[in-house]
Amino acid sequence: MVKAADAPVKPAVRRKVAVAPSLRGEPLSSERMLKLFAAAEDIFLLKGYHTATMSDVAKAAGMSKKTVYQIVESKAELFAALLTHHQSLLQFPPEQPGWTIRDILKANLLCLAKFLLSKEQIAIVRLIMAEYTHSPDLGRVFHLKRVQKARSKLELCLADLASRQGCELCNVQEMSAMLFGMSIGEFLLGALIGFRATPTKAALEARVSNAVDIFLSGCEALNRP
């Protein structure tokens, strides 16, 4: 994979279109669900997950409490569905003709970084950090719905690139975690704790570019005879 890092890669195999996420048969992207999600997010961020009630959410959504409970069974299920909806918004950019492995990794990491560093995502993560002592399950749901899925997209990207180059990566999960940490980790932690402002576009692009270069150079060194 690394020896051809700057050569155009083989076209990606066309995958089946993923089924749109739904809840009890209703697409999460339906007008009613989007209205409920917007209200729930506003209420959760305003009052905190622990304090917010389904009555608060129903009122903000302009729905009856009975209607809300016809859509979701509980506040926990609503929050999990909200995370799933947010996650569905993360779509890596389509590969362009002539793109190299380096180009693909940079494009996907920038897409992932912009998603995770957005005001909406930072606010949700801060909410979970603040609520963890009250609701430990909230952290587990977040890790499953958000963190694991975000990383799995990068893992799939690495595995797919290796496969198209006719090689196999020994530990895709570990390599993905290292690449994620080098390129996004510091920015994400700094933004979450308010230690630093969200990086500028130029700073983010420079960090991602350097991280990908270091990552590919390291992979090449590991694979030398």
pTM (two decimals)? 0.79
- The structure tokens listed for 225 are 């005879």
Smallest Cα–Cα separation from 35: which of 58, 69, 65, 55?
Answer: 58
Structural domains in the chain? Answer: 22-86 (1.10.10.60), 94-222 (1.10.357.10)
What is d(CA 72, CA 57) in angstroms, rounded to the nearest whole number?
12
Residue 152 sits at φ, ψ, to 5 deg, of -65, -30
pLDDT value at residue 108: 93
Q: What is the pLDDT of residue 92?
A: 86
Q: How high is the pLDDT of residue 16?
A: 47
Helix and strand totals (H; E) in the chain: 11, 2
Q: What is the pLDDT of residue 12?
A: 60
Cα–Cα distance measured from residue 41 to residue 57, given in angstroms and rounded to the nearest whole number? 9
**Which parts of the chain have pLDDT scores under 70?**
1-22, 136-137, 139-151, 166-168, 222-225
